[in-house]
Amino acid sequence: MKQYGKSRKDHMREYLRQVIVLIGLCFGLGCFSAGSICVKAAGNQLVDSGSYKEIRWTFYENRTMVIEGKGYMHSYLDPEESKGNRPWEKYIDQIKILDIRSGVLNVGASCFNDSKSLEEVMIADTVKDIGCSAFRDCKALKKVKMPSKLNHMGDHAFEGCISLSEIKVPEIVSRDKLNGQTASRAFKDCTGLKTADVTYGSTIISDLMFAGCTSLREIKIPETVRTIGSGAFTDCNSLTYIYIPRNVTKIEACFSLCRRLKSIKVSTKNRKYKSINGVLFTKSGKTLISYPPSKRGKKYTLPKKVTVVRANAFRYLAHLQTLVISKDLKNRKKGDNTFQDSEIKKVVFQKGVKRTTKNMFYNCKDLKQVSLPSSIKVISGFTFWSCNHLKSLKLPENLRGFGKNAYDDTYQKGKRLIKTTVYVKNKRAKKIVRKTGYKGKIILISSRNKRK
């Protein structure tokens, strides 16, 4: 025991007072059974203790902190507000094991965030609420024993726990009244997390729940899940396979930056979605939701039924080079039917396609070749804008419209910018293109040029 400036006599009095208080607490709680605080105290010297309403905390020399009692822990508005105000603040960076005992009803918001030495957490089944940022940025945390069921898990609860390698997510039975879900960003940026098992009974995987878990290789989603939130698996770089259970009825844009994803499988009993050769579609087959970035194959033809391609469906492609656009693809709401930022190198529009959509291939910096059939009448604005390696564009003879910034004036060759070239088949098309302010070269292809 450190003396903190007290005399030896005062120190002994303080020590005896703490022992008497502890013995009284043990008798009051009836905890002389094996595994109780009193048994653990034997051979493990008490350092400090305190209480808040019905909750008592005790810190031991072996760097274990015990939270016990019957009631609720105090919660703090945010991590910054908690610093300096937690009763155990002077020990927050010394805690190695945290034991939250039966009787405690919650883990307070921001109560243990940024605890630098915390390695293991045990939470009793009586706990029904883990507050926002409760263990946020506990970078040494390796092991967590969760309650079997929770009413609520706050946002950012375990965000940034980079040493956590596996987690069993408890059933969360209620939702946030404001945004309809709970546990948003709960395990975000847990970069060491390799496996996650969502307990049967859970109905939602929340927005950004596992975003940034770059080591995540396996995620078990139970049949009870109905919603997979926006960005739930964003930047899960090690995820190669995912299975969508039968009861899922809502999937947001959740696989962005999953660069190693090879296949998305869907239960054949799912009424809302289906998988065709590892690609995710709506059950009708009319909407393509996500093309796995690491799916094998250099060429992909959109199925004939597809009328809508979700935004960002083709991103961070590892193998796909050529995309064939079917005639059924429609010009739909903003954001759909765009292949923006894709690594596609060649695009072929099938005969029957009448127009491109706005921003369709915007910023596709690897795109080098485009084949446009005679059926196309309109090239919408920004269709091929910022496609830095697309040197030229050959327009169809029946062109009626060429949107503003439909095609960039220049392409990049090394560090130089060189003017692009548009080939047209009649003077009307040349006039249409020039009116948009295009400053590149426009070359009229005459019948004489064709014979040559």
* 8 Å CB contact between 58 and 51: no
Say if residues 252 and 261 touch (Cβ distance below 8 Å). Answer: no
pLDDT digits (tens, 9 = 90+) for 132-149: 999 999 999 999 999 999
> How large a percentage of the chain has pLDDT more than 90?
71
Give the span between the Cα atoms of 302 and 286, in whole angstroms: 10
Average pLDDT over residues 372-401: 94
- The confidence band for 400, taking pLDDT boundaries of 50, 70 and 90, is very high
**Dist. CA 174–CA 298, nearest whole Å:** 45
pLDDT in tens, 221-263: 999 999 999 999 999 999 999 999 999 999 988 998 899 999 9
pLDDT tens-place string over residues 182-214: 789 999 999 999 999 999 999 999 999 999 999
DSSP of 365-434? TT--EEE--TT--EE-TTTBTT-TT--EEE--TT--EE-TTSB-SEEEETTEEEE-EEEESSHHHHHHHH
CA–chain centroid gap for 187, Å, is 9
Give me the chain's average pLDDT, please: 87
Contacts of 4 by beta carbon, 8 Å cutoff, 6+ apart:
none
Query: How much is the pLDDT for 77?
Result: 83
Largest CA distance in the chain: 111
Q: Cα–Cα distance between 424 and 441 in angstroms, integer?
A: 11
- Angle (nearest 5°) at CA 378 between 372 and 383: 75
Residue 58 has phi, psi (to 5 degrees) of: -140, 130
Residue in the block written with tokens 């979700």: 310
Instruction: Dump pLDDT digits (tens) for 437-452.
Output: 999 999 998 654 554 4
In this predicted structure, the answer to whether residue 151 has a pLDDT above a threshold of 60 is yes
CA distance 215 to 194: 5
The owner of tokens 């190198």 is 345
Please report which confidence band the pLDDT of residue 2 belongs to, taking 50, 70 and 90 as the band edges: very low
Residue 165, pLDDT score: 97
Which amino acid, one-letter code, is at 447? S
Q: Cβ(289)–Cβ(267) under 8 Å?
A: no
At 110-124, the pLDDT tens digits run 999 999 999 999 999
pTM for this predicted structure: 0.82
Q: Tell me the pLDDT tens digit for each residue of 258-305.
A: 999 999 999 999 999 999 999 999 999 999 999 999 999 999 999 989
318-365 pLDDT, tens digit each: 999 999 998 888 755 555 667 888 899 999 999 999 999 888 999 999
Given a contact cutoff of 8 angstroms between Cβ atoms, the answer to whether 172 and 150 are in contact is yes
pLDDT of 36 over the 60 cut? no
Rounded average pLDDT over 88-109: 97
pLDDT average, residue stretch 386-402 = 94
